[in-house]
Amino acid sequence: MRAYAIALTICAHLARLEPSWDRWVYAFWLGGGVDLFFAISGFVITRSLLDLKRRTARPSILSIIKPFWIRRIYRLWPAAICWAFASVILSIFFNRLGLFGTVEGTLTFALAGIGQFANLYGAVCSAPNATHPCEFSSLAVYWSLSLEEQFYLLAPFALLFLPRKFFVLLLILIAGSQLFLTRDWPSALWFFRTDALCFGVLIGLTSEKTAIIRVAHSILDRKILRATLVGALLIALIGVASPGVVPFYNGAIALIAAALVFIASFDRDYIVQSNLLKRVTNWLGARSFSLYLTHLLAFFAARELYARLRTMSVEGPVQISSVVAIAILLTIVLTEFSYRVIEVPCRNKGRRRAERMLTADAEGDQPRRERAVADAARQ
């Protein structure tokens, strides 16, 4: 699902590589890939928190939040900070065509992204009466990262302190209140699309013993029916992304993304059966975060590099095949560098630190358990 989400997102941004392609990528641009990422994150983070709660000897807000946040910080921040400052540097030294924006505008948005409030800043500076319009440039994707980070900040508290039924009801109300809203770019509501996140959390909270799981199994175990349903959902995620097709297309996309994550959550190869396709999607999915961060930077850098190679002016003719080839090469190189040099080592370090915290918590609780057993024996 991550592979499909990043593929949709890259298609959505192809007009940044060649502006004339905008009419062809319009449907991709209206959120399908990002909302699918949101639904995946809601599901994965909820299962991660529930697993931490089960593994913690004395579940408390600190014993769960500390290892959870450590893992998320090491997982996301190093790569995000690296490529934010890379965009600022390129705006200073590699910006003949102005694609990376002004230094001031790029630096401002980079700091908003690093501070995890790029969606708030985007909503303010995109308003019709904004005195300083946004310069998203190659950092446009950071608004969604900020929204997810805000979710990671609040989710543990809600999961720990709210009664399960009340939490589920709250999620349904938050998601339901957005379904029929129009959230066009760049309206303020665009930057706070939390319905897909809420659906992902609800899927993560769903017990395997519920009736809906049993019914879903009976449907998805039928090969022809499953293939038809999955194929229709994959196509619909793109097909409904237009106000002309579905007036509440944002909500429809969130529902379809949630349905795909629900099917994938069974972990029974319901979506991908081919071993070759699995290898391809696993490779893309593993690098989806680095690819998400680097592809726009690679697109703009390709156009800037081509301009220098051809020593042409901004108005000069562009050989789009050459630009595409450079963009593909740069995207692969930057993504692989980010994944292998930054993302994986930092993620592993964060995972080790979180494990040490959990181990220390369990060992610290051992004397208490021993005393409790001894007291029970005496009684």
Sign of the C-alpha dihedral computed for residues 146, 109, 4 and 24 taken in this order? positive
pLDDT bin (cut points 50, 70, 90) of residue 376 is low
Mean pLDDT score, 237-266: 91
pLDDT bin (cut points 50, 70, 90) of residue 367 is low
> What amino acid occupies position 5?
A
Residue range 280-291, pLDDT digits in tens: 999 999 999 999
Query: What predicted TM-score, i.e. pTM, was given to this entire model?
Result: 0.91
Give the separation between CA 156 and CA 45, rounded to whole angstroms.
9
Residue range 5-25, pLDDT digits in tens: 999 999 999 999 988 888 888
Cis peptide before 186 (omega within 30 of 0): yes
Can you spell out the DSSP letters for 81-110? HHHHHHHHHHHHHS-TT-TT--HHHHHHHH
> What amino acid occupies position 2?
R
pLDDT bin (cut points 50, 70, 90) of residue 317 is low
Q: What are phi and psi of 96, to 5 degrees?
A: -60, -40
Mean pLDDT score, 165-175: 94
Greater pLDDT, 254 or 366: 254
Do 302 and 323 meet the contact criterion of CB atoms below 8 Å apart? yes
Whether the pLDDT of residue 34 is over 60: the answer is yes
Domain ranges of the chain: 2-359
Give the separation between CA 273 and CA 270, rounded to whole angstroms.
7
C-alpha angle 263/31/228, rounded to 5°? 35
State the pLDDT at residue 371: 47
Do 59 and 169 meet the contact criterion of CB atoms below 8 Å apart? no
Which pair of tokens denotes residue 122? 């985007």
Mean pLDDT score, 198-206: 95
β strands within 166-236, DSSP E: none
> In Å, what is the CA distance from 322 to each residue of 108, 270, 310?
32, 39, 11
State the pLDDT at residue 211: 82
State the pLDDT at residue 364: 62
Average pLDDT, the chain: 89
State the pLDDT at residue 308: 86
> In Å, what is the CA distance from 320 to each residue of 9, 19, 21, 275, 334?
20, 11, 11, 34, 21
Q: Which among 48-62, 82-96, 239-253 has the top mean pLDDT?
A: 82-96
State the pLDDT at residue 145: 96
Greater pLDDT, 308 or 256: 256
Do 32 and 257 meet the contact criterion of CB atoms below 8 Å apart? yes
> What amino acid occupies position 89?
I
Count of beta carbons in the 10 Å neighbourhood of residue 216 = 17
Burial class (CB in 10 A: 0-12, 13-18, 19+), 319: exposed
Mean pLDDT score, 194-219: 88
Whether the pLDDT of residue 76 is over 50: the answer is yes
Instruction: Give 242's DSSP letter.
Output: S
Which residues, 6+ apart, have CB-to-CB distance to 144 below 8 Å?
34, 37, 38, 119
